[in-house]
Amino acid sequence: MSGTSSESSSEDQSSDTMDDVNEEDFGYDEVINEGKNLPERSKWVPLRLSEVERTSLRILEGALEISEYTDKVDVTSSMYGSFWHSTVSKKVHIIDKELKEILQFISGLIVANNFNDGRDMVNKDQLRNFQVNQEIFRVIFEIGRRYKIMNPDKMRTTYGKLMYIVQDAIIPGIIEFDVKQDIRCVYTLLQQHHATNILNDPDMNLASQCLTSNQDKEKVKEHALGKIEAKKRLIARYSHTLSPDKINLVIDSLTDSNAYILANRHPVDRMIYYLKKYFKPDVEESREFSLAIYGRLNGSCLTHNHSTQFSFVYQSLLLWREIQHEMFCLWNSADSDLLSKRSYNLEDTGQGLQRVQAAPYVSDAMHRILSRVKSRLGNSWVGLSVVHLGDRDVPNALVFIDKYTQVPRILAPIVNTIERIGQLEHDPLCGQFITESGGVEYLRKKILCDYFKHGFDGSGDDGGSCIDGRLTSSWNWTSKIEKKDYYQIFLLCGFCGFDGSFKK
């Protein structure tokens, strides 16, 4: 896949500078409408998995769970042993052995799942030659990569292993065939059937709309009926080029992407709203609620007055919002960088052994996003504009994409707490505690003030003001949440952690 970004896609959805922000701009009543630039955006939207593909996914996950690939391959040269004349040849030997083992795992699980389907894979000649079944392996690896893009909370313990397996497998001379296949996206499917014009149909926009939660029942019913009618019209209009199943697959995939963007961008939207509601850039109401930070005080590595810190936080959140909006492009760019046959070095980055590899596709996409945000802000940028990629801070595209999938995990629990405090005030058991702690508005402002100060205080690399250092600072803040005097409020509001779920 190419690593280029769709600038117009984000411009349609994020053209406002949010100078006049109100509750409705970021409220739950928002109906996400991502249809204004579907032809371009659909190039990055993965196809929803079919039932058959989901069976293959379970087989792949089973094989990855029992594989010890990275444990045996990504080790220091001293661990390869002294009985080999060359550590390079030793590593190649181990890679070859482990790749064949994972392919054997997959083959065995396919047979165990359905003997009739797997029977042709296990005759004596084919077991010795995986190349005969290369298409099966290409497809099953692509299914795993595609599934992860649409479900970043899944495969959290196996996705990195999958990418490193495919990364090594495509190195010339390792195995006899190529296991890489491009991610199947909506536009690719439509292009194969010469039906890309369906993306310009107004009914496609309506059929793929995503309605947010907490809607009026009548509105939900009306929305559902509208989607059904739009689907029927699309099937009637384009059935000469696409089957009804494929039209439904396209619609469902685009709807999934809208839901993904809404779910991941919504916490950032809400934090921007709260920043502008409770704090003013040029008004420092009191010392208690000042956003000013001072170097070497309370762990801060930066010194900003109230106004500068407000701008620093606002710009960071706005950048995160744009990144969440462009995550499909960034995922595909990361996939292209990791599987580009570009060499990597195994280095101790201070966070364990990491594969250090350049990521030009992701870098280009990030710099376009950053440039767009800076232009929208009038180029009044606070802090550094450095994007770490392919170095000790962010070793490769996989680490980069993992960092920015953390943004909703950090912000969603904070937003959830802020919005549930009001419910606690009317709870017969918690109401008095909320009142004695200062009341709802006081607690909200106290929590937000602390996060906006110390979640962006520079406790990251390069003084914390670089693009990635801002996120590192927020992670540092989350690690200290148990020590905050308002931690009990988080617990009462249902807080259970910032790491998300590691369940399958």
Q: E-assigned strands of 162-259? A: 210-211
The predicted structure's pLDDT at residue 297: 85
Quote the pTM value.
0.88
Task: Return the exposure string of 210-240: e unless at least 16 CB atoms fall within 10 Å of the residue's CB, then b.
Answer: bbeeeeeeeeeeebeeebeebbebbbeebee
H or E element in which residue 346 lies = strand 345-348
The predicted structure's pLDDT at residue 496: 92
Tell me how far apart the alpha carbons of residues 54 and 52 are, in angstroms, rounded to a whole number: 5
Q: Is 194 exposed, middle or buried (0-12, 13-18, 19+ CB in 10 A)?
A: exposed
Check residues 230 and 126 and name the one with the higher pLDDT. 230
Quote the tokens at residue 265.
């961008």
Query: Whose CA is closest to 377, among 317, 327, 326?
Result: 317
Q: Is it the case that residue 23 has pLDDT exceeding 60?
A: no
Secondary structure letter of residue 50 according to DSSP: P
Q: Is it the case that residue 442 has pLDDT exceeding 70?
A: yes
Query: Whose CA is closest to 100, among 71, 137, 75, 125?
Result: 137
pLDDT in tens, 33-81: 444 578 889 999 999 999 999 999 999 999 999 999 999 999 876 554 4
Which residues fall within 8 angstroms of residue 423, CB to CB, at 6 or more apart?
none
Quote the tokens at residue 417.
């707490």
Q: Is it the case that residue 232 has pLDDT exceeding 80?
A: yes
- DSSP count for the chain of H helices, then E strands: 22, 4
Torsion angle in degrees (nearest 10) through CA of 129, 135, 140, 144: 120
Instruction: For residues 384-407, give the mean pLDDT.
Output: 93
Secondary structure letter of residue 391 according to DSSP: S
Q: Is it the case that residue 94 has pLDDT exceeding 80?
A: yes
Length of the chain: 504
pLDDT tier, 324 (very low <50, low <70, confident <90, very high otherwise): very high
The predicted structure's pLDDT at residue 34: 44
Q: Percent of the chain at pLDDT above 90?
A: 64
Q: Is it the case that residue 129 has pLDDT exceeding 70?
A: no
Cβ distance 475 to 406 under 8 Å?
yes
Tell me how far apart the alpha carbons of residues 268 and 446 are, in angstroms, rounded to a whole number: 19
Quote the tokens at residue 59.
């087989």
3-state helix, strand, coil in the chain (%, to 5): 60, 5, 35
